[in-house]
Amino acid sequence: MLARQHHQIQNTAPREPAAMYRDGFLQATRHLGITRDDAAALVESISGRPFDECGWAELEPAIHQLQVLVDVLSGAESVRRKGCG
């Protein structure tokens, strides 16, 4: 039994931080209704690198662009609501 547990521990290597950042980015973009392909294309167009090679440094500018977009859309929605009231 101990040998089996030891074997299982060896097969669960820690994930690379960059992969965790990419997964988190994709999860956040899904909440915005953005497909994986579109999210990856955004990062690739900003960074000039394949998405699967990107880490935090490449994801941060894309996150900033998405935040700007969300802020603009939220502001437009607030203006629309005030105008209808």
Domain spans, the chain: 15-84
Give residue 6's pLDDT: 53
Annotate 45-72 with three-state secondary structure: HHHCCCHHHCCHHHHHHHHHHHHHHHHH
- The per-residue pLDDT for range 34-81, each reduced to its tens digit, is 999 999 999 999 999 999 999 999 999 999 999 999 999 988 777 777
Its sign, for the CA torsion 62, 67, 70, 76, is negative
CB neighbour class for 2 (10 Å; exposed up to 12, middle 13-18, buried from 19): exposed
Give residue 2's pLDDT: 53
SS3 48: coil
Residue type, 70: V
Taking the whole predicted model, whether its pTM rises above 0.85 is answered as no
More confident residue, 1 or 54: 54
Give residue 39's pLDDT: 97
Whether residue 49 contacts residue 58, with contact meaning beta carbons closer than 8 Å, is answered with yes
